[in-house]
């Protein structure tokens, strides 16, 4: 029944880690394609990987980076938002998303994302850096 549900949604079930391993292989392929300057092919590989392992924050943030490099800003934002929802404690993802919002002029969204990051960060220096960014966005 679960397989039928997944098929209807276009999601492949994870079978004992096989899908996760296949997604990791696709990630390696995508990174090789990126190094070879084939961004479009790398994006396709990462999209396949995300279909195999849709709960991977790492895959989604890698895909976002490539989408951004390829000029697909709003798709990159969407993938980073998904990554942040999947791993709300990832300061790397939250920082990337907040900086992207800032760069694109979405001050309110940048502020909200920096607030989320402030909750996660424990290092005093990083907390101070985030506070400064929040004040600058007021």
Of 47, 72, 97, the position where a domain reaches its end is 72
Say yes or no: 58 and 94 in one domain. Answer: no
**Residue 78 located in a structural domain:** no
- Count of the separate structural domains present in the chain: 2
Of 21, 46, 72, the position where a domain reaches its end is 72
Q: What is the tens place of the pLDDT at every residue in 52-96?
A: 899 999 999 999 999 999 899 999 999 999 999 999 999 999 999
Domain that holds residue 131: 88-138
**Residue 83 located in a structural domain:** no
The sign of the dihedral angle between the CA atoms of 126, 105, 84, 70 is negative
**Residue 67 located in a structural domain:** yes
pTM for this entry: 0.79
CA-wise closest residue to 23 among 65, 51, 3:
51
Q: What is the tens place of the pLDDT at every residue in 12-40?
A: 444 547 878 888 888 888 888 888 888 89
Say yes or no: 2 and 68 in one domain. Answer: yes
């Amino acid at each position: 029944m679960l397989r039928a549900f997944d098929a209807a949604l276009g999601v492949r079930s994870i079978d004992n880690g096989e899908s996760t391993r296949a997604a990791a292989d696709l990630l390696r392929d995508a990174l090789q394609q990126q190094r070879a300057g084939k961004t479009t092919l790398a994006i396709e590989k990462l999209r396949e990987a995300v279909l195999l392992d849709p709960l991977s924050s790492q895959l989604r943030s890698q895909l976002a980076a490539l989408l951004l490099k390829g000029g697909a800003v709003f798709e990159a934002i969407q993938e980073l938002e998904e990554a942040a929802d999947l791993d709300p404690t990832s300061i790397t993802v939250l920082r990337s998303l907040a900086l992207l919002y800032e760069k694109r002029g979405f001050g309110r969204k940048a502020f909200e994302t920096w607030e989320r990051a402030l909750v996660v960060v424990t290092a005093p220096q990083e907390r101070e850096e985030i506070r400064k960014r929040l004040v600058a966005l007021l």
